[in-house]
């Protein structure tokens, strides 16, 4: 394998297992340490690679600053963070979508500047600006579905996957905003200085994705 000192930023949490599986299928023999340890930096010297394990929302930050050459980040995070990085491949893993939801009793025309709770203030503000609707955004860090139930917000903008969280909390989806999958991202300088290694990685991943799609 020709990768020389490539640092890969991986998102911990939901995306992690699927991303590791994809990399293994692409021929990178990642040690069991990936699943078993709490280490945040994992060296894979035989592949000339180093992996850093970060919070999903922080992956583009590491890549933008160049301390990681490449990384894996959700499209939601890419839209929210607006970092100066390249998004080179849709990995088509961790699929979900972003939606607007509310209590079923909520009348969308009842407020002048409705309150929208979200973990994604930038994405939310951009979306409503494009819709031409004036809103007040309330930034939360999780349990977003709580906000309309407890009276903190009129609507929420959040990720939906199975729809179970909305359903169990008595909320309904008002609008589907955008589909979300994880992306392979690259630092622009690394893309020039380590182009052979990065291109090889992108090609291998693209082959696995194409093969998976062929089977579906």
Ligand X SMILES: Nc1ncnc2c1ncn2[C@@H]1O[C@H](COP(=O)(O)OP(=O)(O)OP(=O)(O)O)[C@@H](O)[C@H]1O
Decide if residue 165 touches ligand PRP (CB under 6 A): yes
Query: What's the rounded Cα separation, in Å, for the pair 163 and 11?
Result: 23
Q: Please choose which of ligand X, ligand PRP, none residue 164 contacts, taking the beta carbon within 5 to 8 angstroms, the exact cut-off set by kind.
A: ligand PRP
User: Smaller CB distance to ligand X: residue 56 or 71?
Assistant: 56
Exactly one of 56, 60, 114, 148 binds ligand X (CB under 6 A); that residue is 56
Decide if residue 143 touches ligand PRP (CB under 6 A): yes
Decide if residue 13 touches ligand X (CB under 6 A): yes
In this structure, what are the phi and psi dihedrals at residue 150, rounded to the nearest 5 degrees?
-90, -5
Determine contact, residues 190/66, Cβ cutoff 8 Å: yes
Taking residue 83's Cβ as centre, other Cβ atoms within 10 Å add up to: 19
CB of 113 to ligand X, least distance (A): 27
**Lookup: tokens for 168:** 């169990």
Q: Please choose which of ligand X, ligand PRP, none residue 94 contacts, taking the beta carbon within 5 to 8 angstroms, the exact cut-off set by kind.
A: ligand X
Hey, which residues between 93 and 122 contact ligand X (CB under 6 A)?
A: 94, 96
Query: What's the rounded Cα separation, in Å, for the pair 28 and 31?
Result: 9
Exactly one of 77, 78, 85, 123 binds ligand X (CB under 6 A); that residue is 77
Decide if residue 161 touches ligand X (CB under 6 A): yes
Binding site for ligand X (CB under 6 A): 13-15, 55-57, 74, 76-77, 94, 96, 142, 159, 161, 180, 182
Binding site for ligand PRP (CB under 6 A): 142-145, 158-165
């Amino acid at each position: 394998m020709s990768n020389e000192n490539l640092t890969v930023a991986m998102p911990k949490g939901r995306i992690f297992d699927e991303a590791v599986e994809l990399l293994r299928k692409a021929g990178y023999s990642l040690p069991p340490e990936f699943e078993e340890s709490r280490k945040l930096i994992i060296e894979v010297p035989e592949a000339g690679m180093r992996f850093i394990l970060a919070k999903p929302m922080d992956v583009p930050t590491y890549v933008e600053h160049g301390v990681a050459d490449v990384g894996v980040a959700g499209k939601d995070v890419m839209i929210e963070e607006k970092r100066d990085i390249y998004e080179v491949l849709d990995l088509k893993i961790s699929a979900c979508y972003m939606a607007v939801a509310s209590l079923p009793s909520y009348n969308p025309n009842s407020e002048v500047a409705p309150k929208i709770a979200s973990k994604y203030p930038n994405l939310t503000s951009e979306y409503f600006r494009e819709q031409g609707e004036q809103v007040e955004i309330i930034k939360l860090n999780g349990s977003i579905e709580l906000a309309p139930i407890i009276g903190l917000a009129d609507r929420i903008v959040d990720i939906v996957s199975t729809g179970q969280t909305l359903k169990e909390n008595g909320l309904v989806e008002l609008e589907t905003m955008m589909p979300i999958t994880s992306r392979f991202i690259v630092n622009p300088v690394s893309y020039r200085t380590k182009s052979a290694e990065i291109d090889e990685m992108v090609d291998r991943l693209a082959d696995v994705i194409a093969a998976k799609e062929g089977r579906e």
